[in-house]
Chain A
Amino acid sequence: MNRLAAILASGDSTRRQRVMLAALLVFVVAMPFLLQSNRWLTLFTMVLMYVVLASGLNIVVGFTGLLDLGYVAFYAIGGYFTAVIMVQLVRNAWGIELDSVWWLVWVNLLMGGVVAALAGAVLGYPTLRLRGDYLAIMTLGFHEIIRIVANNWVGLTRGPSGISGIPKPSVFGFDFNTAFRFYYLALALAILSLFVISRMVRSRIGRAWTAIREDEVAAEAMGIHTSRYKLLAYAAGGFFAGVMGAFLGHYLNFIHPSNFRLMESIMVLSLVVLGGMGNIAGPVVGAVIWMTLLEWLRDFQFVQDHPEVRGMAMGLVLVTLMVFRPQGLMGSRRVALEMRPATEHESQQEREEVADVRRA
């Protein structure tokens, strides 16, 4: 114990981080045993899903600096992918009993991610020349396209009726059918995702992304194929959203267009901004604090009488944060996105670039 205290007090930041990470791990694994009710267990399962979503979006927005307002489109693609395959194709069209193909659920978790990653690269392609506000508007459009297709292509997605009957995951007869079991499944996915994301961003690939965020022209001049790395960022972000979308389908046994409203995209983006962009811990902290707060607010009679107050609280927190701590709760570095006032030097550069484009 003394040794532990010594490590925590010492200046060795990587060892201190490891100890704290281990403590956190013990805590999240032990949590279900400490909680009294399924209500909070279900909530924390949702929190874990949003941790992954926000961390995936953080690759695009935080590390690569591409403002994406349509991220939930990839969440929808993952969800509908597994719903269509399992229910529409395997059960309804081929008449195969879903229990006999339990392994397909696990394949679909992965494939939902892969399909969403491909969609990310494809949808990203036409945005390569866009930046800032224009990019944001275009991603917003993509989100609407996916949502409207989900709502209207009744033959494929059953439109507003949604697709029900998506099976629960199971392994050799062990069913993930309780809140308790689902929590651990979500936890495993979240830990795996964070592990992969943190390795990606702390590598030459992550450096290339950050360089693009900081100065795209200079990044290209330093030998980074910026188009390729932007597409890779969209694909990587899309992948994690796709996996979570498929997970959502198997968790709820039901997929519906209203799972993927624009408000979801804004919510996920808010988690990233709240926690701190361009930082691994940021989206995690953002998701935990924010969603716990929203759930806790429900306990108040006043909030029960006026449910719209929860949305207002979200806005209030975000505005306060932007004023007092624009880098987010965990942001140690000030991340340049389109959300902060430009410095004189930058606006000068921007003007020159615009002039260049007009001349060319």
Chain B
Amino acid sequence: MSGAPDAAVSAGPILEIEALTKSFGGLVAVNSIGLTVHRDEIVGLIGPNGAGKTTLFNVITGVYTPTSGRVLFDGREIGGHRPSKITSMGIARTFQNIRLFGEMTALENVMVGRHCRTKTGLMGVVARTPGSLREERGVRSRSVELLEYVGLKGSVSELARNLPYGSQRRLEIARALATDPKLLFLDEPAAGMNPQESQELVGLVRRIRDSGLTVVLIEHDMRVVMGICDTVFVLDHGEKISEGTPAVVRADPRVVEAYLGKSA
């Protein structure tokens, strides 16, 4: 906890999930999960393939409607809102299988992220009112800043699809940050990265947290998870089987069992 003067105002947890269930027909992908994410933490979400991590992400960010249970963001219920609404409330995300706007430049990708923080309408756009021009300049300079922040200063006018893999992952993060989130979800941000790239990513995630955001990440690279997470939740078969600091979770026999199977 930061202990900032306004800590009392925003003291509650940033995200609370209560008995959340998501089933697809007969398949229960997320089964009555409850968890609490505290402010200014880096939270890891791990578990074997098919444990329901991405489904949980998708429910929280509005891609799926919860079957039952509640999702409280900053004390407000967000379950069932459309993704764009949830994003404008302050949750941003990246995708497991990178989903950039391939035929747009890196800069344009980030500028799209500013959409929900701008408001020029059709009339303002066609008339190019002073307000709309000012807004557009603001969007551009903020987006350039964000590209610099994630280390993509040199790729501003590069088409997103032409960027190398590691840069695409970082561009996704810049685009998500452009929506001014309070809570950032990263779905396997280090996937496919070499050790040096994932080290850089760890540094970036720390800087993001230090700038006052809360980060939740799904990650399979245990060095990343154990290195930066304050709290780790472990999912298996749609249920939460363990939670705590990385050290606690690593020592939990249920976690070892979930990953390696029951010993004879």
Residues of A within 8 A of B (CB): 196, 199-200, 203-205, 207-208, 210-211, 214-215, 217-226, 232, 278, 333-336, 345, 348-349, 352, 356, 359-360
Contact mask B81-124 → A, CB, 8 Å, 1/0? 01111011000110101011111100010011111111010100
**Knowing A222-B179, A223-B87 touch, does A199 contact B126 (C-beta < 8 A)?**
yes
**Knowing A199-B128, A203-B120, A359-B27 touch, does A226 contact B84 (C-beta < 8 A)?**
yes
Contact in complex: B27, A224 (CB < 8 Å)? no
C-alpha gap A200/B128 in the complex (Å): 10
Contact in complex: B84, A224 (CB < 8 Å)? yes
Contact in complex: A205, B125 (CB < 8 Å)? yes
A200, A222, A348: the one within 8 Å of B115 (CB): A222
Among the interface residues B24, B120, B176, which one has the most CB atoms of the partner chain A within 10 A?
B24
Q: Is the interface of A mostly helix, strand, loop or mixed?
A: helix
B97, B101, B176: the one within 8 Å of A211 (CB): B101
What would 24 A/B residue contacts be, using CB atoms closer than 8 Å? A196-B126, A200-B125, A203-B132, A204-B111, A204-B115, A204-B125, A204-B135, A204-B136, A205-B125, A210-B103, A211-B104, A215-B100, A221-B92, A221-B95, A222-B84, A222-B87, A222-B176, A223-B117, A225-B85, A232-B122, A345-B97, A356-B24, A359-B24, A360-B24
**Knowing A204-B118, A218-B95, A218-B101 touch, does A223 contact B113 (C-beta < 8 A)?**
yes
Query: Which residues from A are CB-within-8-Å of B136?
Result: 203-204
Q: Nearest residue in B to A336 (C-beta to C-beta)?
A: B103
C-alpha gap A207/B101 in the complex (Å): 10
Query: Which residues from A are CB-within-8-Å of B100?
Result: 214-215, 218
Contact in complex: A224, B99 (CB < 8 Å)? no
B61 lies within 8 A of chain A by Cβ: yes
Residues of B within 8 A of A (CB): 24-25, 27, 61, 63-64, 82-85, 87-88, 92-93, 95, 97, 99-104, 108, 111-118, 120, 122, 125-126, 128, 132, 135-136, 139, 159, 175-176, 178-179
Q: Nearest residue in A to B125 (C-beta to C-beta)?
A: A203
Contact in complex: A211, B83 (CB < 8 Å)? no
What is the minimal beta-carbon distance from B56 to any residue of chain A, in angstroms?
14
**Knowing A220-B83, A359-B25 touch, does A334 contact B103 (C-beta < 8 A)?**
yes
List of 7 A-B pairs having minimum Cβ-Cβ separation, nearest first: A223-B116, A359-B24, A214-B101, A223-B87, A218-B99, A203-B125, A220-B83
What is the minimal beta-carbon distance from B59 to any residue of chain A, in angstroms?
11
C-alpha gap A208/B101 in the complex (Å): 11
Contact in complex: A224, B115 (CB < 8 Å)? yes
Query: Which residues from A are CB-within-8-Å of B24?
Result: 356, 359-360
What is the minimal beta-carbon distance from B46 to any residue of chain A, in angstroms?
21
Contact in complex: B27, A217 (CB < 8 Å)? no
Query: Which residues from A are CB-within-8-Å of B93?
Result: 221
Query: Which residues from A are CB-within-8-Å of B118?
Result: 204
Contact in complex: A222, B111 (CB < 8 Å)? no
Among the interface residues A196, A224, A226, which one has the most CB atoms of the partner chain B within 10 A?
A224
Contact in complex: A207, B111 (CB < 8 Å)? yes
Query: Which residues from A are CB-within-8-Å of B84?
Result: 220-226
